[in-house]
Amino acid sequence: MRCTPVITEMKVIPVAGYDSMLMTLSGAHAPLFTRTIVILEDSSGNTGLGETHGGDDIIKVLEGYKDFVVGQEIGNYRAVIGRIQKSGLIPRDDGEGIQKLDLKNLKFVVRAETAIESAFLDLLGKFLDLPVCALLGGGQQRKEIETLGYLFYVSDKNKTDLPYIDESGSSDAWFRIRRREALAPEAIVEQALAAREKYGFRHFKLKGGVFMGHQEMEAVRALKKAMPDARISIDPNGAWSLEEAIEYCKDMHGILSYVEDPCGPEKGFSGREIMWEFKNATRLRVATNMIVTNWRQLYHGVTLRAFDIVLADPNFWTMNGSVRVGQVLDEWGLTWGCHSNNHFDITLAMYVHTAAATPGNITAMDTHWIWQDGQDLCKNAMKIENGRIRIPDEPGLGIDIDMDRVMKANELYNKMDSHDRDDSVAMQYLIPGWKFDSKRPCLVR
């Protein structure tokens, strides 16, 4: 006897959206980013949504999961996800892909099944008339989520012939600024002020790994001077050596609220050992999404006291796994947070519900969504107001798919020559022959 509705169809739809020429250790963001949408339909007529990273490898993996999903009860989703994880279809490497960061390697650590988990939870929430966060962990812990303003150095798109979007004619100040070159400290401050004006942020993070660390610290100091009450952090993605990280950060008490992955593996020592040495030398709070992406790494990191904050991205941990990380961290007196990458509004909803179910005093949630704002795939995307996102009153994820927008994003995806992320391509316009180096900021050659 069936107790909950049964999955009747699973759709896997690749999509693309527009991006700015954002700079990171891995290079320059391309004009287009890719994601993958999972849509589940059940026998009651409801639709469930999920979103994960893009690219042909992820598509193949998700297509391979259809036989595990179709015909299953939505109430049995945990067993379905468990069978998927034991199937051997999940691409994996040894973890160095994330510790050395080159973003084209993220496909090796992404758990594509998270998109299926989200769609199941969306359906189950609708069936039970509950929000997804009520179905995770110990249930809903909060009614709204604090978010941070994610700031980036932005290169001049006009130095390329690539099809970057131009919003210089927009009536929205943030939309104009997010496509504009921002390489000097005053330009980063202008970016932050525009984001604060539109979204009400009280917390900001600057993506580093672009210039030498002392130059990036000038931008951090300028941000703190412009917004004394704001919490400011920086994430160079492990670009600095231990010696450099200590030198750059030792005098930043009262300016930096925390440092995310300042350094990584070197001289035969793991990233966890090196981060502990950084913490011990500077006494600054440390966050990570690079040296802890699975339970074994978490155990060793906690043993070494290598961090204070784990940014447990559901795309690496699954939604249930991320909440479980938060429960453990809360018991141990540590802090949960959420890492982000380019994404649409379905991922935003997934992040928000995960954060809403996580106990303790969590840190402000990362999101790239402000760089994609206006490209929503749903009719009622969540909004950031006063730096926070409110949990919707509607059941499930609380969002409804707009298939016209999805199929337009799919058309954009199909027009791309390559669907795999490679941030080195745009860099050739700035530095001919540029190659990724995990220990050299991208504009330092």
Task: Enumerate the active-site residues.
Answer: 207, 339
263 DSSP β-pair partners: 240
Residues 108 and 97: their CA atoms lie apart, in Å, by 7
CA end-to-end span of the chain: 65
In order of 3, 40, 179, 321, 409, the CA distances from 44 in angstroms are 12, 12, 44, 28, 28
Q: Which residues contact 88 (CB under 8 A, 6 or more apart)?
A: none
Residue written as tokens 């904050």? 309
| Gyration radius (Cα) of the chain, Å | 21
Helices 271-282, 295-304: axis angle to 10 degrees equals 30
Answer for the pair 340, 313: CB distance below 8 angstroms, yes or no.
yes
Q: What b/e string do you get for 74-104 counting C-beta neighbours within 10 Å, with b at 16 or more?
A: bbebeebbeebeeeebbeeeebebbbbbbbb
Do 138 and 412 contact (CB within 8 A), yes or no? Answer: no
